[in-house]
Amino acid sequence: MDTLRVNGPRLCQSLAAMARFGATLKGGVRRLTLTGVDGAARDQFVAWARAAGLEVRVDGIGNIFCRRAGTDPDALPVGIGSHLDSQPSGGKYDGAYGVMAGLEVVRSLNDAGITTRAPLEIISWTNEEGSRFTPVMMGSGVAAGVFTLEHCLAQRDADGATVGEALRAIGYAGDAPAPRLGAYFEAHIEQGPILEAERKTIGVVQGALGQRWFDVVVTGQDAHAGPTPMASRQDALIGASRLVLEVNRIARSHPDEARGTVGALQVVPNSRNVVPGEVRLSVDLRSATDATLRAMVAALTACARVIETECRVAIAMQEVVYFPPSAFDRDLVGAVRAAAQALGFSHRDLVSGAGHDAVYVARVAPTAMIFIPCEGGISHNELESATPEDLEAGCNVLLQAALARAGVAQTQEALT
């Protein structure tokens, strides 16, 4: 089995064919979850899965499970998957790579006439991105028992359509149960710059950073920019700008995988000649440990109190999201590392800074992830790019790690 390899060109062809669903002029993908174009992409995936001999079922939230039977009727399946939905201006690889890599693993096993002991389950999770419906990672979250099905089916998009309606409209309101998994592997582009910068082919993902998100409102007082002397002002944007810089400073003061980002900021009234009376902004803090997250929040809160006094503004911070730091399964992470090693790929351990379906699946099944480099670390962007060599390498690691977990029962050669 050690010499078995996936068909890299076929994998790239699958990715290219999938990228035509929702293709954008700039070479990216706009495939919002449960839209018509997502339905068409799902139909293509299902057709390919059936052609590869897989048994396809759909659960209540529209997750697609494609089973390749094993020889051991009692063995729990080894899941391989990711998601097919994209950001509004997304790329060809975020999500689709993990699903197409799972399909390529199956096709390669078919080509080689290999049957595994445990079944394989190639999975496409519904609505990982959360761009049309919240919460993000909806399908894996329902499967992992994080969200109830009823809650998610009732969520509405900006036009008022519910998830349930959207699922029915594209024919993916299923009723199959989500299978219990014995293991779960997800291959994904890194969405960051580390592998490329360090010229490593494989990221062996240890787990995911914890996240604490805040909505912050800085309140000052509107004033006419002309007649209001500097000393009289209560400029909310001055307070907000100081807070933005503090978020950055605090994250940098915890260099070990700590992140701090203000990604969204709105000024009120946002008029050229009015001193801003209010600024609303988001704060996204991430770290591998809850202790660091707590320290970052405490530091930010203390800074906010100083800014309130010095800038004569009020700062209200409300926590809106908390994802605890998550650690993947030691054995499965070891299988990924061993596969990369055996295949001769340069590799390094990484912690995922982003959320992935794997983070929820890890709550109910042993889980690991495989990262490959993406150009410039760019993702959630139409320019997202990965090399054929890296795509193939990650898929070979996936194949070997999954085989190590599922076990090889028999090969065609052995039978003939």
Strands 408-411 and 202-208: unpaired
Site string for its own copies, 312-351 (x = CB under 8 A): ----------------------------------------
Tell me whether the omega of the peptide bond preceding residue 324 falls within 30 degrees of 0, making it cis.
Answer: no
Please report how close the Cβ of residue 242 comes to its own copies at its closest, in angstroms.
7
- Asked if 86 touches its own copies (CB under 8 A), the answer is no
Give me the long-range contacts of 134-141 (CB less than 8 A, separation at least 24). 136/355, 137/355, 137/356, 137/357, 137/359, 137/360, 138/33, 138/61, 138/163, 139/61, 139/62, 139/63, 139/83, 139/357, 140/63, 140/357, 140/358, 140/360, 140/361, 141/360
Q: State yes or no: residue 217 binds its own copies (CB under 8 A).
A: no
What minimum distance in Å lies between the beta carbon of 269 and its own copies? 8
Measured on CA atoms in the order 268, 274, 276, 282, is the torsion positive or negative? positive
Can you tell me the distance from the alpha carbon of 382 to that of 18, in angstroms, rounded to the nearest whole number? 15
Measured from the CB atom, is 38 or 257 closer to its own copies?
257
User: Which one among 274, 295, 297, 409 touches its own copies, defined by CB under 8 A?
Assistant: 274
219 lines the binding site for its own copies (CB under 8 A): no
Residues 172-211 that bind its own copies (CB under 8 A): 190-194, 197, 209, 211
Binding residues for its own copies, total number by CB under 8 A = 66
Contact pick of 56, 267, 295, 409 for its own copies (by CB under 8 A): 267
Residues 21-50, mask of contacts with its own copies (x by CB under 8 A): ------------------------------
Measured from the CB of residue 213, what is the shortest distance to its own copies in angstroms?
7
Q: Which is nearer to its own copies, 68 or 286 (CB)?
A: 286
Question: What's the rounded Cα separation, in Å, for the pair 126 and 391?
Answer: 23
- Asked if residue 316 lies in contact with residue 217, where contact means CB atoms within 8 angstroms, the answer is yes
Closest CA to 341 of 316, 373, 370: 370
Strand partners, 234: 221
Largest separation between any pair of C-alpha atoms in the chain: 92
Nearest Cα neighbor of 107 from 219, 13, 25 is: 13
In this chain, which of 71, 162, 219, 282 binds its own copies, going by CB under 8 A? 282
Tell which residue, 229, 239, 217, 246, has the closest CA to residue 311: 239
By CB under 8 A, name the one of 43, 72, 165, 222 that touches its own copies: 222
275 in contact with its own copies (CB under 8 A):
yes
Q: How far apart are CA 390 and CA 381, in angstroms?
A: 19
Using rule CB under 8 A, residue 266 touches its own copies: yes
Q: Which CB atom, from 31 or from 233, has the smaller least distance to its own copies?
A: 233
The yes or no reply on residue 148 touching its own copies (CB under 8 A) is no
Residues that bind its own copies (CB under 8 A): 89, 190-194, 197, 209, 211, 213, 221-232, 235, 237-238, 240-242, 244-245, 248, 251-252, 255, 257-267, 269-276, 282, 284, 286, 352-355, 376-381
